[in-house]
Amino acid sequence: MWQRASWPRQHMHAAARRSICSRSVLPVVMGQQQTEHSAAQLHEWLCAVGFTLKDYSAPPSLKHQDGYNSEPIRVAAALQLVDPERFPTASAAKKLVRKGSVLVNGRPARIEQQVLLGTDRLQLHERAPPLFSPSGDPPFHVPVLYEDEWMAAVHKPPGVSTQPPVDILEPSLDMVQTMRCAVPYFLAPSTQEDATWRPMLCHRLDKLTEGVLLVAKTKRACTGITDQFKAHSIHKSYLAVVHGSPPAESGTVSLKVDNKEAVTDWAVTERLKLSNRREITALLMHPHQGRTHQIRIHCARGLGLP
């Protein structure tokens, strides 16, 4: 079944009731045997989503001290030695280690882990400065349907994920072939005082679904759009093409998805008979919720139309 999603233009809430915070996430664990290609992919992904990857090497003054490169020390202590201005205390270093922002030989560091300065590779990934520009070429083209200082609407093609998967253990194209990585290449940074540090995708679409994604460029816009999604004041419409033909012209499917309430209104827009005497039908779908695969499940199980 093929789906297309679209949203009518809605007026955003004017008042922002909470601040939008983004946490540093690195959904990639690289083995110690890194290839040049995998390292380049990791760097490309980090740049695209607004992170920098900083390599730490021991200061020259440390290299001349007795015992250098002979006694292992804990990661937090190593960070204090190589960057005392950034890590004036052990607690400051441990905070980023717990957050998963410190890598040792390409893997997330552990609090109790020990390293040899000059031998082990110590890296820190963190947000890029505001108004960053992605480097390199975009992973794919993203048509911009609407854009202003506060928000944008972009077209998501079928076959690409909205967000990078969080369970990939080795670098792959799946990390880069996502809307989160591609969108920053096609939008101009906002000049507003509350501009977000990168374009924020306000919702998601399934990988196989083609449609419109709303993107916030300011904190106020992000709050307004996400609040409307939570209040169900943004009305989503999907066009689904299914095998077979329903007995009626319209109806409602009420069927739980993952043990959660899910309701979808549907209406026939076109019925077609193929040369092999099989039928396909185009359905306009209006889901009341946004459960994962809700439309696919309601078509297949609720209407018997895969």
Q: pLDDT tens digits for 197-232? A: 889 999 999 888 899 999 999 999 999 999 999 888
- Residue 285's pLDDT is what? 96
- Residue 130's pLDDT is what? 66
Are the beta carbons of 250 and 286 closer than 8 angstroms? no
Asked if pLDDT for residue 254 goes beyond 70, the answer is yes
Q: pLDDT tens digits for 134-175? A: 777 888 999 999 999 999 999 999 999 998 776 554 445 666
- Residue 194's pLDDT is what? 92
Q: Which residue has the higher pLDDT, 176 or 179?
A: 179
C-beta atoms surrounding 143 within 10 Å: 10
In degrees and rounded to multiples of 5, residue 295 shows phi and psi of -70, -40
- Residue 215's pLDDT is what? 98
Asked if pLDDT for residue 87 goes beyond 80, the answer is yes
In the chain, count H helices and then E strands: 7, 15
Q: Rounded to two decimals, what is the model's pTM?
A: 0.66
Confidence tier at 259 by pLDDT (50, 70, 90):
very high
- Work out whether the CA dihedral 239, 244, 247, 251 comes out positive or negative: negative
Confidence tier at 250 by pLDDT (50, 70, 90):
very high
Q: Residues 24-49: what's their mean pLDDT?
A: 47
Q: Which residues pair with 101 in a beta bridge?
A: none
Q: Residues 224-248: what's their mean pLDDT?
A: 92
